[in-house]
Structure 1
Amino acid sequence: MKRVMGWGLAGAALAVLGTTMAPARVPARPAVREAFRDLNHNGRLDPYEDARLPLAKRVDDLVRRMTLAEKVGLMLHGTLPGAGGMVLGMGEGYDQAAAKALLERGVNSFITRLSADPATFAAQNNAVQKLAEATRLGIPVTISTDPRNHFQVVVGASSANRGFSQWPEPLGFAAIGDEKLVERFGQLAAAEYRAVGIHMALSPQADLYTEPRWPRGNATFGSDPAAVSRLAGAYVRGFQGSATGLTKGGVATVVKHWVGYGAEPEGFDGHNYYGRTGKLDDTSFALHVRAFNDALAAGSAGVMPTYIIPEGVTYQGLPLPRVGGGFNKPLIDGLLRRDHGFKGLVVSDWAITNDCPAACRAPTHDAPQGYAIAMPWGVEDLPESDRFALGANAGIDQFGGVNDPAPLMAAVKAGKVSPTRVDEAARRVLTLKFELGLFDNPYVDEQAAAKVVGNPATQAEADAAQRAAQVLLEARAGILPLAPTRRVWLSGVPADAARAAGLVPVDSLDQAEVALVRVQTPHEMVHPDHFFGSRQNEGRLDFRPGDPATETIARAAAKVPTIVAVDLDRPAVLTAIRGKAAALYGLFGASDAVLLDLVTGKAKPQGHLPFELPSSAAAVAAQHPAYPDDSADPLYRRGTGITGN
């Protein structure tokens, strides 16, 4: 048996296993001579290093070799630290010394928030794997990410798109409604992830979008439980590589947030203390659960519980505990594992075990929240180690955003978490690493990464999806398409993009034949002193007289026919601008080039609204946060869309 200490950091090819060559004496296993990774550096092939053995035997062998501290380390899903002290692990490289220290603590699952060119990204991840290979047992690193292939970027929810193909928002996929397209997206995005050394997608969001003011709805598949379920299932199949679970070359999905996250009064999000409670009842809760069915049926490798406390819900005749989803045993051990038969990894959302001091609960202008980030809802006053114990016993296998195993170890040593529960979680974490093939070769080809990520053929498919995902709501006769050389006044659209589309941008409305105005859905910064509140679109949805966008549209429409395109990251109230628009688009992740392709007729709109658009702010305020599409007299109903123009 040939011992291999490492596979190299670039262009390393995994040796073909199972090829019969000169005999060698290997007890209890076929006599073959082949390369193997000597992960524990003892000069012989141990069962967990032997790729010929069944996965369960490899896991059993490794668990027997691990110390309690190493098993506890597996239960953390930390953050790869950014070089130069970059907060939250952002930047273009990792702090390798800090990463080594985390690995030495036994932590070997991490989120990456790097924004680097593909070759650099791959090299950074390879370097981390090399550090992991040098640890006592050589356990490889699992690297996860928030979504990277869309437009909206919010810290803690999505990552900047640098080189990765750019697709419609998930709401845009919902506007198209095509499962095969979502599955194809998953396959292509997964290839990009694996090319740079990412193994886990902290997605999809199977949350049901029922409260129109909620800022996280842009990453969902809309408001219809059946459609959300279908498309989330397709997402899982695409990323993981099959309809029945994870394949070796796939990317593990973590479907989230179990369950009821979209039902937050006033849309105030559960990342914030003021948004910690959801308002549901048993009937609405069943709709939110229904949205997860197909993702679970497709064998999603992981599930992430919600932050919120789901008030108004009963399970087996008893009210759910008034604690967040990560501490809620009936939600995880009962509804998810027992009732839905889920056997995979349960990963908590980030920072649920952190302390939430005054700066977290009630920040002020003079004392803002800063980086005092914590979401321990319902257990704020428990000691930290007791939060870990409660979460582990509720069914959490990995605690997200945690780099220090000491509080969890303290809970184990105090008898608050049993060794059996630790072993159960450790086996799930290790099983996933083996399924991904990481023990046999965790390295990627750095030069090949630059060819896979941002491949022009992939982006061409993404552009086609963007064109298909947009919704035409109104169009007066004869306004579309805009003919070449039309003189157009622009707002919110770059002149260079219009010129590339064959139009003639002009500086004033007096010179124009038509106007094209692109605007965002209205929003407010209701909670500017909170970390997430200052980064999320909250508050009202309605265009009002005096708003800059409303006045721009009115001024243009008074002079020339005006085409209006609204980026619908939330369901805007368009009542004040509807009558002024000669044509009205709802956009769900579109480049300026894609918008111009639509208005010039180079592409035809195919999308239909994935949620209703309310008619007034009063209707929004009166609807129930847990029920889909229930506002009075909506301006546009879900499914609206003019196609073929």
Structure 2
Amino acid sequence: MKNIVAVIASLCVVAPIAFAQKAAQPVLGKRSAEVITDKSLQFKDLNKNKKLDKYEDWRLPVEVRVNDLLSQMTLEEKVGFMLISTTRMAGDNAFGPNAGGARAERGPAQITSAFNEEDMVTTNNIFTRKPLPVPMMSAAGTTKGVTQAHLRHFILRANTAPRTIAEWANNLQALCETSRLGIPAIVASNPRNHVTIDAATGLSVGTTAFSKWPGELGLSAMHDLKLTREFADIARQEWSAVGLRKGYMYMADLATEPRWQRIEGTFGEDADWAASMIREVVLGFQGPKLGNGSVAMTTKHFPGGGPQEGGQDSHFDWGKFAHYPGGMFEYHLKPFKAAIEAGTSAIMPYYSSPKGKAFEEVGFSYNKAIIQDLLRKKLGFNGIVNSDTGPIEMMPWGVENLSLHQRYQKALEAGVDIFSGTADPTILLETVKKGLVSEARINESVARLLKEKFELGLFENPYVDEEKASTLVGNAAFQKKADLAHRKSIVLLKNDAKLLPLAPKTKVYFETYYDNGRNNNPISVLKPANNPAFEFVSTKEEADVVLVWLVPNGGGLFSSAGKSIELSLSKNRVDIGHINDLIKSKPSIIAINFSNPWVLDELDSAAAKTLVATFGTTPEALLDIVSGAYKPTGKLPFTIPVSQKAVDENKSDVPGYLEPNGYALYKVGHGLSYQTGQ
């Protein structure tokens, strides 16, 4: 027991303090728990024993409460506490073909059971996916998960109305309150506030009812740390209003390998700037320390998922290696150091195995040198280490020959505290009972997880105001700030013909081009009625100017087949012949949405005199830049390569601005303005 106390004490940032002379009574949220009164103050009797236990006493230091509750938990309860699984709502649209699309309100939230095991195949003790458009993972039936598996951590991927999420979260907390110890749940989510192209499950929830901001690259392109902090604080208010208290975000990974298919979720290639962005995001969501209104952050993917061999991703066997041909491993740590300094609650290692480094070639969740020696000891991180989804069953790179029990053993020895992607605690429980892992080691992780819950105030009040959720989320004031961010995120790359800004009443043919692989016609002609600056026409022949907005699309992360990744427009679902014919017909503005640093050498150079870069934004924002209603201020978050040959010869861990001369068409930080042309 002394060892447990020492571990818990080491986790606490604030030293133990005596009771305040006049303790402030917190709001107690309850459904079934009785209330105990002590010296005119009220406390919840969570374990139903009609006395005030230390863990129920909000006046006590967190470490005292953690120690008391830990001493009352069974091994089964502790093991269940160390899993975090996707949970489901009836009709939640989380895994369907339109996952990520906005959904209408559906009525009362329900707690349901749903499993997807029929979609899994097993080979050599490794679970892998049948060909599907999204990754598969174990999904918890919530009621059974709480009552039988003792789960208290869930990932909600549902895309539905705020009131529905709030109702569901309250139902979940009410269920947890009836359990033996009344331990509340924590609900996590992937990002919900961004315009994004690849909204595959596990990456983003896509377009939602929450305030809609630029993609993460667009936030970075704003070059406005104050507005970045405001974004995070607004999103925090929205998330906490519906009962989402943990974020599986943001990515501190760097966009140094232009082919990597997760660049859209990064803040770019500049480590120092990405560090500044991560710092503001963590502080905006969490505050200076976790509290009642905080959303706890899970910064990912340690020690940096960017330098993937060939740009392939380690969700797949063919992309399991991170490598460092430029010797810049330390460069990729900078944003994580900033997250740790800002107090990030958790850090998520990636699946990748380091290649060609002085580390064991096993996935980072199994890598003791990465987690214990580097993250814990050298960088001083004392928070939660949260595995990515499925390293035990699906992506056990470097430990494929170990049994599931041995994989849990190795990951726990490396320092993982909570395992994502499974709702079944059986194998982990057997691992402890077989003596492969001690209960004292389990206690270390459970102590960290409990500490987070106590600091978030969930033991006092895990419930939310459902009416407030429906009115606060996505409100006009929040969206007004987001609209400003959209405009600040757009980068003027080239204005050689001085075509921009367009004169009022210009006749504009506005075509968008987006081929998602399912539409017969990727072309849409837009004639926005709410923009009086221009006269929008139906054909290019009628126009003074052509505005074409390209949205290249490589098919998304989970369409990968391990083939060489090319970044030219024609290889990413753009009919370059059609585009060149279009821009040669009239003076043209070419806007391109960059979810990767696309290669632009196929564009007709004589016609492509005006280029604009977007990073997940709205047509209204783009038109305000084109008209001059908002003058461009954005800066590129990454370097755009000059050719596919340059891409193929790049060093994956080296940012584009440090690649040899001749690599860059436009370097990170490039962006023109109308005032100076510079």
TM-score band by shorter chain is: 0.7 to 0.9
State the partner residue of 2:372: 333
Partner of 1:54: 61
Q: Go from structure 1 to structure 2 and tell me whether the alpha carbon gap of 1:535 and 1:507 turns closer, same or farther (over 3 Å shift).
A: farther
Aligned-partner Cα distance in 2 for 1:63–1:524: 46
Pick closer, same or farther for the CA change 1:234–1:37 going to 2, 3 Å: same
- Which position in structure 2 is the counterpart of 1:467? 487
In structure 1, list runs of 5 or more residues that go unmatched. Answer: 1-15, 21-28, 315-319, 355-373, 526-530
Taking the aligned partners of 1:513 and 1:228, their CA distance within structure 2 comes to: 40
- Amino acid in the other structure paired with 1:611: F
Give 1:367's aligned residue.
none
- Candidates 392, 398, 408, aligned match of 1:378: 398
Residue of structure 1 equivalent to 2:6: none
Instruction: Find the aligned partners of 2:23 and 2:527 in 1 and give their Cα distance.
Output: 52
Q: Percent identity?
A: 37
Is structure 2 residue 75 aligned with structure 1 residue 68?
Answer: yes
Counterpart of 1:137 in structure 2 is 181
Equivalence for 1:441 = 461
SS of match in other structure, 1:53: coil
Give the aligned residue type for 2:278: A
User: Aligned to 1:448, what secondary structure does the other structure show?
Assistant: helix
Aligned to 1:366: none
Change (3 A) 1:279 1:536: closer
Match of 1:125 in 2: 169
Is 1:96 aligned to residue 112 of structure 2?
Answer: yes
Among candidates 22, 31, 40, match of residue 33 of structure 1: 40
CA distance in 1, matches of 2:296, 2:423: 21
Instruction: Report the Cα distance in structure 1 between the residues aligned to 2:87 and 2:317, rounded to whole angstroms.
Output: 26
Of residues 332, 335, 343 in structure 2, which corresponds to 1:288?
A: 332
- CA–CA distance in structure 1, aligned partners of residues 211 and 572 of structure 2: 38
Q: How does 1:174-253 map to 2 (within 5 A)?
A: 174-242=220-288, 245-253=289-297
Q: How far apart are the structure 2 equivalents of 1:417 and 1:79?
A: 26
TM-score when scaled to structure 2?
0.83
In the other structure, the counterpart of 1:613 is: 640
Query: What do the CA deviations read for 1:102-135 (whole angstroms, capped 9, x no partner)?
Result: 0121110011011111111100111111111111
* 1:274-303 superposed Cα distances (whole Å, 9 cap, x missing partner): 111111158311111123111111110000
Q: Deviations over 1:465-506 (max 9, x none)?
A: 110011001113441222333221221186555332122222
| SS, match of residue 365 in structure 2 | helix
Q: CA deviation at 1:559?
A: 1.8
CA contact (8 A) 1:206 1:255 kept: yes
Query: What is the aligned counterpart of 1:301 among 329, 345, 357?
Result: 345
Cα distance 1:139–1:579, how it changes in 2: closer, same or farther (>3 A)? farther
Which of the numbers 541, 547, 550 marks the counterpart of 2:576? 550
The answer to whether 1:431 aligns with 2:451 is yes
Q: Is the 8 A contact 1:346 1:396 kept in 2?
A: yes
Q: Distance in 2 between matches of 1:96 and 1:181?
A: 39
Indicate the residue corresponding to 2:542 in structure 1.
511
Number of residues paired by the alignment?
Answer: 591
Is it true that 1:624 corresponds to 2:654 in the alignment? no
Q: 1:13 matched to which residue of 2?
A: none
Q: In the TM superposition, what is the alpha-carbon distance from 1:523 to its structure 2 partner?
A: 2.9
1:167 to 213, 225, 228: 213
Q: Which residue of 2 aligns with 1:637?
A: 667
Q: Match for residue 346 of structure 1? A: 385
In structure 2, the CA distance between the partners of 1:535 and 1:481, relative to structure 1 (3 Å rule), is: farther
Shifted more, 127-136 versus 575-584: the winner is 575-584
| Residues 334-391 of structure 1: CA deviation (Å, up to 9, x unaligned) | 100000111000000001111xxxxxxxxxxxxxxxxxxx211112222112111111
Match of 2:521 in 1: none
Q: Counterpart in 2 of 1:43?
A: 50
Bigger shift: residues 609-618 or 539-548: 539-548
Shift of 1:79: 1.5
1:569 partnered with 2:595? yes
In structure 2, which of residues 295, 300, 309 is the aligned counterpart of residue 265 of structure 1? 309
Q: Secondary structure at the residue paired with 2:241?
A: helix
Q: 1:303 to 1:123 in 2, by over 3 A?
A: same
| Maintained 8 Å contact 1:522/1:540 | no
| Secondary structure at the counterpart of residue 37 of structure 1 | strand
The alpha-carbon deviation at position 545 of structure 1 amounts to 10
Does the 8 Å CA contact 1:521/1:571 hold for their aligned counterparts?
Answer: no
Q: 1:536 to 1:378 in 2, by over 3 A?
A: closer
SS of match in other structure, 1:343: coil
Per mean C-alpha deviation after superposition, the further-off stretch among 474-483 and 451-460 is: 474-483
**Structure 1 residue 521, shift from structure 2 partner:** 3.1
CA contact (8 A) 2:511 2:525 kept: no
Contact 1:272 1:532 in 2 (8 A): no
Judging changes above 3 Å, is the alpha-carbon distance between structure 1 residues 448 and 426 closer, same or farther for their aligned structure 2 residues? same
AA of the residue aligned to 1:342:
F
- Whichever residue aligns with residue 257 of structure 1, its letter is H
Can you list the C-alpha shifts for 1:573-614, whole angstroms capped at 9, x where unaligned?
Answer: 112225422421010121011111111111111111111111
Q: Please tell me the residue identity of whatever aligns with 1:532.
A: F
Write the letter of the residue equivalent to 1:179.
Answer: L
Cα offset, 1:450, TM superposition: 1.2
In the superposition, the TM-score normalised over structure 1's length comes to 0.87
Question: CA separation in 1, counterparts of 2:329 and 2:238?
Answer: 36
Residue type of the alignment partner of 2:251: Q
Over residues 407-434 of structure 1, what are the superposed CA-to-partner deviations in whole Å (9 max), with x where a residue is unaligned? Answer: 1011101111111110000100000000
